[in-house]
Chain A
Amino acid sequence: MSNERNDDPFETGETSTGSLNPSMTAATTAADDDVVDDTQAENAIELREVEGLSQGQIVRRRFFRHTGAMIGLVVLILTAVLAITSIGFTLGPIRIPGWWQYSHTQLNPILNPRGAPTLTWPWDSAGFAIGEHPFGQDEIGRDIFARTMKGVQTSLIVMAVIGAVATLVGTLIGAFSGFFRGKVDTVLMRFTDLIITLPVIVIGAVLGKKLGAADPIPLALALGAVSWTGLARLVRGDFLSLREREFVDAARVAGASTTRIIFKHMLPNAIGVIIVSVTLLMSSAILLETALSYLGFGIQQPNVSLGQMINDYQGAFNTRPWLFWWPGLFIILIALCINFIGDGLRDAFDPRQKKIPSARKMARADRRAARVAARATA
């Protein structure tokens, strides 16, 4: 065993930094010129794919090629559009009505026994039909479709607010910490450690007990204010390595202010880490809200959120499944979409997890390289 240790990172003395600087891809490939053949082949494939493209284009291209992420994105947008247009929304004094005939608070006569859904599938004897209350009604006749849509709106808002707050706080703290280092870093990181000492759900439960019943926004703000820690650590790590890079020195020599260096030069380079981390954070935010509702410390009546709906109706699991399954389905759908989008973004931003080319592809690249070489010598 010992005689083969030299392959391991134990003695390589170098570590990859995980940076996403635009110049990086090219630099790496250039540096690798003199390594073994198959590496060259890999790089040849990679180079050919990204030839003449800016970093943004490369990322976009990779992202759009990621099937899972694209499906996720489309489904998520469709869901949001459905939720917003169907029952409309209220923005302060303005109320924009939707095309769905019922509101989520309105009491309607109960159509089917126990409020069963009127939605029938193509394989049902009655054939496909949407009917008056496709998702069914609760015991006092409220339309579950309208409520689910309202829940989707709330959950999306909660998710967005948590995401926004966490991004803002996490990025700023991480950026300052990593850029200034020293005392600032110590103070900020100790502060981060303070927040990180408890699982988010535990702090969430404590905060939720006070804030849960009210408007969802304060709860979301509070949850956002405690869920930025992971992001801050990542951004800090990125900034620590970025600040040692030449382009930062160049900016400094050119007389750029600190703010400008941080926000104009370094932040764009850390954007990949931020976006990926925030996406994943948002998908866990929606589940966090659900879990808090289950524990009784989340969003409560008369507000409607998906988590609160499945929690309120979990008793109906066996008896009136439509009260439980529809909101549950939307939670899973949203979380799933966001996870796939996050995965796609990670793949797009992070070239280190690039696809290992198949043997066949490499062989083909080899042949091509040989042909090119032959032609060059000829």
Chain B
Amino acid sequence: MALSAVIRTSEATTMMELEIELKRASDALKSSDLTSISLSAGCDLFMRYVTRTKALEYEDFDAAKTRLMERGEKFGELSLRARKTIAMLCQDFIFDGCTILVHGFSRVVLEVLKMAATNRKLFRVFCTEGRPDSTGIRLSNELAKLGIHSKLLIDSAVAYAMDEVDMVFFGADGVVESGGIINMMGTYQTALVAHSMNKPVYVAAECYKFARLYPLDQKDLAPALRPIDFGVKVPPGVEVETSARDYTPPQYLTLLFTDIGVLTPSVVSDELIKLYL
């Protein structure tokens, strides 16, 4: 994480200065990509982490600084280890002969599937195409390399295929305070279809993606715009919806797999409150 590098290079002599410097750095990071929720959530979490240590008292500043640096590195390490933990937790839920629908390309979900494959589980994966970023094609590429049986669907075939599906897996850009998730466009509709057909919807996300947002509806989030190639020329005067993310409310999610355990959506808000209150 870049922020721990800031601490290391910082010349600050008091905690206050250090904190201000850190704040500036995290703001700079956040502004570099306004749309990335996990980035800003990660920054917030790191800041919280730092301000919490400060509450523990240290006599001299240098000791505190080295301690902060340690913690910063540990934080980065934790985030990496998180994926493995999540994959471990998911293993009990993937049973032999099941069919998993995956929407979007998520490294966590890939790790989950990878571990399931190395555990000699037999399962099929349906990947949605994931327009406009073709995330499904990327994912199926990876799966083919691992020797996992996979099948590509166009995004509009989700309801058609849901009959055969046993569970739906998503990653997440961000997990919001209500317990819902913000993820790639199409997550919401996939979750709706799964919900109406009584299929469990699982989300795999590291807990640094927990964000202090509370979107009330779809328009309530900063849109991440993507150019969309329709393949044909769009006539002038026709508007194009270019947002690439949507918000899935918590009632459509069954469980969240995070590195702090298997959670129901309602736990997320409790965790966030515990941390920031």
A binds B: no
